[in-house]
Amino acid sequence: MHEIKHYLNGEHVAGTSGRFADVFNPATGDVIAKVPLASASEMDQAVKFAGAAQPAWAAMNPQRRARVMMKMVDLLHRDMDKLAEALSKEHGKTLPDAKGDVIRGLEVVEYCIGAPQLLKGEYTDGAGPGIDMYSMKQPLGVTAGVTPFNFPAMIPMWMFAPALAAGNAFILKPSERNPTVPIMLAELFEEAGLPKGVLQVVNGDKEAVDAIIQHPVIQSIGFVGSTPIAEYIYGNGCAAGKRVQAFGGAKNHAIIMPDADMDQVVDALIGAGYGAAGERCMAISVAVPVGEDTADRLIAALAPRVESLKIGPYTSEDDVDFGPVITPEAKRKILGLVDSGVEQGAELVVDGRNFSLQGYENGNFVGACLFDNVTTDMDIYKTEIFGPVLSTVRAKTYEEAVGMTMDHEYGNGTAIFTRDGDTARDFASRINVGMVGVNVPIPVPLAYHTFGGWKKSAFGDLNQHGPDAFKFYTRTKTVTSRWPSGTKEGADFSIPTMG
């Protein structure tokens, strides 16, 4: 069986901890590889390589670092098919969706070509007599990131592209479910001109993550994954003196107003609710039609579309809408929650629980499910299901729809469908959610804006990509200088002011 390695200092290095995890093809259930789970000493080795490589990389002028980003963009386009194939094999998502995963990461690499501009400091000429004041943005040093299974190309690139462009070294601990693509990305970066040791991939589980948290040389941790782990890494990382940004789970509501274009709504909910089998942190998992008539029209239009969704492996000859979920445990969790919804009194309008695909009986396929008459006290409403399940909660009024979205513990994304500008504007202004769509179901901001949720969906002050990423991966230093330095004013014991 294929043994995946760590990627340390430009070499593929076998794991030495003796611990491994199986990597599966989620469509067939076959074990396709084993991945080593690093010990603290393997992490320490990576940190030593990173520490040795980082100063020369940081000393390279930003325009030359930007050229590495430019070249990386070309290489990502060149290897797009190869990357998508490897990604789909370990994740299960369709090939077009896998390419989207790579492209949304590539767009952040493109943004980082602007590093020379983004890293410019500020200057005040003549802040006082003979005094100038300037600030500079300097890299943190050795930085690290921990990423989830659901975007194995995009999220690593969201972290390491700005980290590297800013002059840091970066150690990635990718999801142990699909480690192949992150290693391919690190190889491509070196082909693009990145010096060895500046970007490394250390595979592992909690032990490797704890080694990152505790390592005194690592300056920052970027995390994306479930909320309990985000809270763990944020709390412990901050306590260890590191700069941490940690992004967690979601339960994204779509509010459907009575005046919404129902055809557009149904298309939007089908894509955003069931694409990637619902395994997206920006998936719409709750539909909130306002008024009984809106709800009846929505369910009547949505149910046949959900029933006719095509589910299959990424290798299928036919067009497939979505693939399997990641693991048998994820499948069990999703089916258990659907059962609980039925037991707690929700109406399962489309029941995908018994879906099976001939020839893929051991795959983790879950049929699309649609619930109506869900209430906010039910587990299927409160919990992030992370599967192809859309829950409909009927609201009597706009205020009730807004209130339930506001009261939910998660605040990653939300959307409103309406033709009324006043309502849309009020919603965007009042809602306590980080990313808002107006007639747009998955409002993932583009690379030059920033991405991040509110409430239990994100911990830390700065968002991912956009200008925030360059703030996260740099420190500001402000210099006050006086020339000529020989001015004699005598000692002054009061605090300096310019008054």
Using the rule CB under 6 A, which residue among 58, 183, 194, 250 binds ligand NAD?
250
Distance CA 277, CA 352 (A): 12
| Shortest separation between residue 54's beta carbon and ligand NAD, angstroms | 23
| Shortest separation between residue 42's beta carbon and ligand NAD, angstroms | 15
Q: How many CA atoms lie within 13 A of 353 on its CB side?
A: 15
How many helices (DSSP H) and strands (DSSP E) are in the chain?
A: 16, 23
From the candidates 112, 238, 281, 369, which is the catalytic residue?
281
Q: Taking contact as CB under 6 A, which single stretch among the options 204-212, 295-303, 333-341, 372-380 is the one that binds ligand NAD?
A: 204-212
Q: In sequence order, what E strands does 294-449 have?
A: 347-350, 369-372, 389-392, 410-411, 413-417, 435-438
Q: Which residue is nearest to ligand NAD (CB)?
A: 225
Q: Is 111 helix (H, G, I), strand (E, B) or coil?
A: helix
Q: Are strands 2-3 and 413-417 parallel, antiparallel or unpaired?
A: unpaired
Q: Taking contact as CB under 6 A, which single stretch among the options 8-16, 84-92, 243-251, 351-359 is the one that binds ligand NAD?
A: 243-251
Q: For residue 123, give both structure tokens.
A: 């200057």
Could you tell me the CA-to-CA distances from 240 to 201, 217, 221, 292, 483 in Å, in that order?
A: 22, 11, 11, 52, 40
Binders of ligand NAD among residues 47 to 76 (CB under 6 A) are none
Beta bridge mates, 480: 133
Helix (H) or strand (E) holding 142: strand 142-146
Mark 7-26 with x for binding to ligand NAD (rule: CB under 6 A) and - for no binding: --------------------
Binders of ligand NAD among residues 311 to 350 (CB under 6 A) are none
Cβ-based nearer residue to ligand NAD, 151 or 417:
151
Residues ≥6 apart with Cβ < 8 Å to 429:
none
Distance CA 349, CA 371 (A): 6
- Alpha-carbon dihedral sign for residues 375, 380, 385, 390: negative
User: Is residue 384 close enough to count as binding ligand NAD by CB under 6 A?
Assistant: yes
| Shortest separation between residue 177's beta carbon and ligand NAD, angstroms | 7
Q: Taking contact as CB under 6 A, which single stretch among the options 129-137, 224-232, 313-321, 389-397 is the one that binds ligand NAD?
A: 224-232
Cβ-based nearer residue to ligand NAD, 44 or 361:
44
User: Is residue 412 close enough to count as binding ligand NAD by CB under 6 A?
Assistant: yes
| Shortest separation between residue 175's beta carbon and ligand NAD, angstroms | 4
User: Is residue 457 close enough to count as binding ligand NAD by CB under 6 A?
Assistant: yes
Binders of ligand NAD among residues 138 to 177 (CB under 6 A) are 146-151, 173, 175-176
Distance CA 387, CA 274 (A): 8
User: Is residue 371 close enough to count as binding ligand NAD by CB under 6 A?
Assistant: no
The sheet carrying 2-3 orders its strands as: 2-3, 31-36, 20-24
- Alpha-carbon dihedral sign for residues 407, 413, 416, 417: negative
Neighbours of 483 (CB within 10 A): 9
Q: For residue 125, give both structure tokens.
A: 């000429």
Alpha carbon of residue 431 to chain centroid: 22
User: Is residue 413 close enough to count as binding ligand NAD by CB under 6 A?
Assistant: no
Using the rule CB under 6 A, which residue among 226, 316, 375, 383 binds ligand NAD?
226
Using the rule CB under 6 A, which residue among 85, 132, 191, 205 binds ligand NAD?
205
Cβ-based nearer residue to ligand NAD, 62 or 323:
323
| Shortest separation between residue 26's beta carbon and ligand NAD, angstroms | 13
Using the rule CB under 6 A, which residue among 12, 78, 120, 206 binds ligand NAD?
206
Alpha carbon of residue 159 to chain centroid: 9
| Shortest separation between residue 278's beta carbon and ligand NAD, angstroms | 10
| Shortest separation between residue 483's beta carbon and ligand NAD, angstroms | 47
User: Is residue 39 close enough to count as binding ligand NAD by CB under 6 A?
Assistant: no
User: Is residue 281 close enough to count as binding ligand NAD by CB under 6 A?
Assistant: yes
Query: Residue holding tokens 């994100």?
Result: 458
Q: For residue 150, give both structure tokens.
A: 């659901």
Using the rule CB under 6 A, which residue among 162, 225, 273, 324 binds ligand NAD?
225
| Shortest separation between residue 8's beta carbon and ligand NAD, angstroms | 18
| Shortest separation between residue 155's beta carbon and ligand NAD, angstroms | 6
Cβ-based nearer residue to ligand NAD, 35 or 68:
35
Active site residue 281: yes
Q: In sequence order, what E strands does 180-335 have?
A: 199-201, 218-224, 243-247, 252-256, 284-289
Residues ≥6 apart with Cβ < 8 Å to 37:
15, 17, 19, 20, 21, 176, 203, 204, 205, 207, 208
Distance CA 251, CA 283 (A): 8
User: Is residue 247 close enough to count as binding ligand NAD by CB under 6 A?
Assistant: yes
Catalytic positions are: 281
- Positions touching ligand NAD (CB under 6 A) are 146-151, 173, 175-176, 205-206, 209, 224-226, 229, 232, 247-250, 281, 384, 386, 412, 453, 457
